[in-house]
Amino acid sequence: MGKKTKLEAIDLDAYYGDFHALKSINIAMEEKAVTAFIGPSGCGKSTFLRTFNRMNDYIEGFRTEGQILIDNKDIYQKDVRVDELRKNVGMVFQKPNPFPKSIYENVVYGLKIQGVKKKSVLEEAAETSLRRAALWDEVKDKLHKSALALSGGQQQRLCIARALAISPSVLLMDEPASALDPISTAKVEELIYELKNDYTIVIVTHNMQQAGRVSDYTAFFYMGELVEFNKTKTMFTSPKDERTQNYITGRFG
């Protein structure tokens, strides 16, 4: 690939109790690029995404074998503090989940938790993050109004702003536009395209065209295996594995 590897999995296996959810995954994802995870429901793509900020740790019976590296450091080592890890690895979910607070409070929430108190620092972070999330112009006059009054698409961009406020270097997105209308989806996609200049982004999506539009690389998962990983252009024009071809052309099973 030429560029620096940001995220990496080496011989990764993951289990929910007896269920073998991820099978010997090996992948290296480029820094400041967008990688899309695609595959049918239950194929392990979300599980894999969540291993990068250890979101699965809370699930009873979940365990991993192998390594997950961010900047060449194994994040499952004992000395890794999960709160520190999550400062570096932001996450956006399928459904917008703003806190029942003001727009401003939502954005600066993470910083406040970290102990930042200075108003000027918080205000500047709020503006920068909202601008980066392409939401500033729409909300600058109502920063102290409830975030719940925003539209679904605006709420999702607010969640992206909230994730950006703590200055992560990695952004994990689990179907970030699947609950949005086409206009909001286009805005989120446009945002992803711009954010990749500064962040390493991994996005799980069920929308093939979206994967094609926003990502540089695509990984296809099936039944816990990483079947194929390649440049998105190659994946959508001449995939090597027949299972990939069947999936992306909608002929699966």
Name the minimum Å distance from CB 15 to another protein: 33
Name the minimum Å distance from CB 210 to another protein: 11
- Of the pair 97, 209, the CB lying nearest another protein is at 209
Length of the chain in terms of residues written: 253
- Of the pair 166, 219, the CB lying nearest another protein is at 219
Distance, CA of 52 to CA of 202 (rounded, Å): 10
- Of the pair 86, 231, the CB lying nearest another protein is at 231
User: Judged by CB under 8 A, how many residues of this single chain contact another protein?
Assistant: 12
- Of the pair 74, 241, the CB lying nearest another protein is at 241
DSSP calls for 129-163: HHHHTT-HHHHTT-TTSBGGGS-HHHHHHHHHHHH
- Of the pair 217, 236, the CB lying nearest another protein is at 236
With beta carbons less than 8 A apart as the criterion, state whether 212 and 206 touch.
no
Distance, CA of 6 to CA of 70 (rounded, Å): 6
Identify residue 170 by its one-letter amino acid code.
V
Name the minimum Å distance from CB 250 to another protein: 6
- Position 41 contacts another protein (CB under 8 A): no
- Per-residue burial over 200-218, b = 16 or more CB atoms within 10 Å of its CB, e = otherwise: bbbbbbebbebbbbbbbbb
Q: What residues from 104 to 163 belong to the interface with another protein (CB under 8 A)? A: none
Name the minimum Å distance from CB 245 to another protein: 5
Token look-up 């999960």 returns 82
- Of the pair 41, 237, the CB lying nearest another protein is at 237
- Of the pair 192, 235, the CB lying nearest another protein is at 235
Binding mask 199-218 toward another protein (x if CB under 8 A, else -) reads ---------xx--x------
Name the minimum Å distance from CB 227 to another protein: 14
> What are the tokens at 155?
């709420």
Distance, CA of 178 to CA of 190 (rounded, Å): 15
Name the minimum Å distance from CB 39 to another protein: 15
With beta carbons less than 8 A apart as the criterion, state whether 94 and 115 touch.
no
DSSP assigned state of 38: E
Pairing assessment for the beta strands 5-16 and 62-70 based on DSSP bridges: antiparallel
Identify residue 228 by its one-letter amino acid code.
E
Q: What residues from 222 to 251 belong to the interface with another protein (CB under 8 A)? A: 236-239, 245, 248-251
Name the minimum Å distance from CB 175 to another protein: 19
Q: Rule CB under 8 A: which residues touch another protein?
A: 208-209, 212, 236-239, 245, 248-251
